[in-house]
Structure formats: C-alpha cells, structure tokens
Chain A
C-alpha cells in the first residue's frame, strides 16, 4: 500500500460515478480508518455531460481536496478518457470500460467489460459502477473487500441488495482476472 492515493472516477452524468466515489471514500475512510476526501465536478444537466468524482485516500491529513497527480483512473466513456486522463502519474493504473472506450493513447490500459456485464448478467446497465468499483479494489488493493461491502450495502437503495452483491462478485472476478 502506498501512503497516498489520488483516484478519479469519470464517465457521463447518470453513470453513477459520484455514487461510486462516495462508496469508495466511505469504505476507505469510515471502515478502513484512513483519511479521505471526496469531491466532484459535474455540469448543470442531470444526465449526460462529462462527470467525475475524485477520492484522495491518505495515511496523513489531507488539505487540498482535488486530485492533481492521478494514481488510479476509471474512465467509463470515450469523452471522459479524453478529458480526464491528462494528469496520470507514470505508474498510474488506468481502467476503462471496453464498451464505451475504444481508443486510448497510452500503453498498459486495462479494458474491462463493465457495462456489457452489467447489461447481460445483471440486467441493469447503471450497476456498471459497482462492478467497476469491485474490480478496482481487486486490481489496486486501495480498499479492503470487507469495507467495500459494508459501505456499498449502506449506500444503495433498499431492495437492490441482491443485484449489487451480484455486481460486486462480477467485479471481483474481473479484477482478479485482470491482475494475473
């Protein structure tokens, strides 16, 4: 584990990037006991438009709340990749959705079928954010699986527990596969 992680989760408004950021920050902060800050940037529209959530996780106190040198990037759309991949660290882990992101100008980018699996295996495309979050936790170890589980279950709407558990398992499996 590094002492400090700067994480950016990006996509289109309505893809649940801010929710994913909150779940990640709560898992790392409240349940793993780290210092965390979560911030976001979005447009005035409720759907569409580029949207990002940023999470900083650190063993030390965090003052400036925005990410400036990214350790972990998730891009769920081509637009988000274009807009938000400019300030990655050289050793950053970049993960993209294989359905919506077709072109990446960087070697070593991990492309995984979050949206496709969400649609085909859970029957709910908007749950791709949970699949992605679970995969990120497996690939990077930035948050413990137990804490992610607690945070996820406390933040999702009642009645969606089964779908979210399934999404998490799919994400864990994708992440384990990608790590090999």
Chain B
C-alpha cells in the first residue's frame, strides 16, 4: 500500500487523529483559531457514522460532550480562550463525575476576546486550575502537525483509561501551520477502549475499587444503574457528606494522576547530553527554540532543548534533573511567565532561570532566543 502523505494544518491533523482514535461525537461552538477542527469533524463524523452537533454556545457544547461520553460515545470538543473560559464549570463536572472526553484548546491572545487570529500560550494555568477545587489535570502540547495527530490519539486513550477529561493544549501557531505528514495506517497506533463491567448489574459500583485507572465502567443505558452528579459522592454516585467517603473520593481523584506520573509524562530533549545552557519551551514556541539551539551549537555554545510534551502533570522530576546540571535555564514562551513560574518552583538548585517572552501576537524569533543563549554563555 502506498503511503498516505498529506499537507495538513495542526487543526486538521487533530481532527484526523480524533477520527483515528474512534471519536464518534463532537459537540461545540466554532471559534477562531480552532474552527477548522469543528469544520473537519462536521464533514467527517456523519460519514463515519458519528454525530456532530453545533450548540448555541460553548457551555452547551461541553454539556453535550459529557452527556454523550456518559452514554458511551468517544466525545470531543474544540475551542479557544473565550470558549475555554465558558467550559470551566463543566470541565470540573467531568473531573468529579469521572467522564472521559477530549477538550482541545487552540490558544489565542487574551484576556477576553483578545486576539482571535493570533497565537498565545497563556492558558497554561487555566488548563490546570481554571475549574475550582482540587482536581487532576492531564494536558498534552503538540509542537508539530504530526504530533497534533498523535497526541490527539493519545488524549483519547488517556481519557478512556484514566476516566477523565483530557486537554489538548494547542496554540494558534501549530493549529494554523501546515506541514506534511504521513497518516498512520489502521492498527499502526494503539487505540485504548475502556473495559465494560461483567458483574451482575445489582453488584455494579460505578465508582468501585479498581475502576479509576484502567478499570471497567458502564455507560448510561447499558443496563447497569448508577447516579451521576457534580456533588461529592459515594461509590454508587450518590451525594455524600460523610468525611470518610469525601476523603476517599478526593484521594481517588488525586491518585489518578499522581500514581501514574511515569506513564503520563513525556518530555523531549535535544542536545542535552553535554548542555550547559538549556531552553525550556513547548508547543509553537518550541519550534523557535529548536532552531535557536541549533544556531547556538553552530556558534560553539553547548545549548540544548527540554520540551515538555505533557504539560500537566508538570514534569517536575525531569526538569529538576536538568536544573541540577545546567548553568542557565532559559524559559521561552508566548506568555508573561506562566511556564516561568513553574520552572522557578521546581528550581531548588540556584540555577539561573532566564525568561524570554513575547506576548504581542507574534512568535518568538530564533534571534531573540539565540541572543539570550549567547548572553548566558558569557
């Protein structure tokens, strides 16, 4: 069979990745710079036997996604900053009720309506803490068109396995950029679907022991009975005020991510074996950093790149290991310092941490990052 090589936008490859992963429901409200994802899903889903619903706003959009997912669909929505803000309440509902789904946020400049057609990376903290209360977060950050496809597949796999909303944190730079990629053939990438319960319906506990990560859980309408609520609940899903049950539920949510860090965290490193200066950068900004470390190497400076692919949970350990051995860590981002704050939190080693930031709607240029590397090397 001949290879399927296509020129695609990051947004288009995200949609194709969703279909590849078995997504059969999209509910949402189109918004720049994520609109192409909705457009592609509206074209593809009916052909694939799925459903696409455009709702009146993003709140209703994520509500349909949670409902469809609770009923057994593999569901997603896609939005940008203003819509992501509207989705925050129900994102928390998805965490609490443990509903698997994928939420794509193609970041644009903010706050508020901000810069519809221009990119940013300033929703890092919103992705982590935008919804209230202690809760687990998984956020993946593609740096290329191909990675947008592959991380969308991974986002669905993780949602199914960890039974929670997973955020694909794209940015306009990658979402609207076109590169060529080879579409994986059927079976080339693993697709995870959660197991269904096999017990007698009367014995089924929707939030029973072992059903949190990799376990079986039922869909609404499957014959297994359970309750879904945003209230803190017991193993059946009914609201509880008992301290032991509240503690159990909150520990269960935390353990989802904290007990599986090695499986969840992916970090790409380039030229780090002998690096004295490292650049920490993700998504679109990492493309600038990739170019910059090569230009610095060409000048004879030992520079390397640390690129988080998983942004949440934050790669504390991998970052700490780098901070321990390098002289300077440059944090390159399209934000006023959301990534910087996390690096400073992890830095217990008196390593110099230098920000390189831009927040005028444009990408960082390689020259801006190279200048910071050259300065650090003096």
Contacts and interface: CB of A to CB of B under 8 A. Distances in A.
B291 A63 contact: yes
B287 A63 contact: yes
Contact of B290 (A35, A36, A64): A64
Contacts of A42: 117
Grouping DSSP codes into helix (H, G, I), strand (E, B) and loop, the B interface class, with mixed when no group exceeds half, is mixed
A4 to B, nearest CB: 12
A22 B7 contact: yes
A44 B367 CA distance: 28
Given A26-B7, A30-B6, A44-B32, A37 B290 contact: no
Give the interface SS of chain A, mostly helix, strand, loop or mixed.
mixed
Interface in B158-191: 173, 176-180
Interface residues of B, number: 21
A162 to B, nearest CB: 25
Nearest to A55: B178
Contacts of B6: 30
Contacts of A38: 7, 177-179
Given A37-B179, A44-B117, A25 B7 contact: yes
Contacts of A39: 173, 176-178
Contacts of B366: 64, 68
A51 to B, nearest CB: 10
B177 A37 contact: yes
B87 to A, nearest CB: 22
Interface in A20-50: 22, 25-26, 29-30, 35-44
B5 A30 contact: yes
Contacts of B32: 44
26 contacts: A22-B7, A25-B7, A25-B178, A29-B7, A30-B5, A30-B7, A36-B7, A37-B177, A37-B179, A38-B177, A38-B178, A39-B173, A39-B176, A39-B178, A44-B32, A44-B116, A44-B117, A63-B287, A63-B288, A64-B291, A64-B363, A64-B365, A64-B366, A65-B363, A66-B363, A68-B365
Interface of A: 22, 25-26, 29-30, 35-44, 63-66, 68
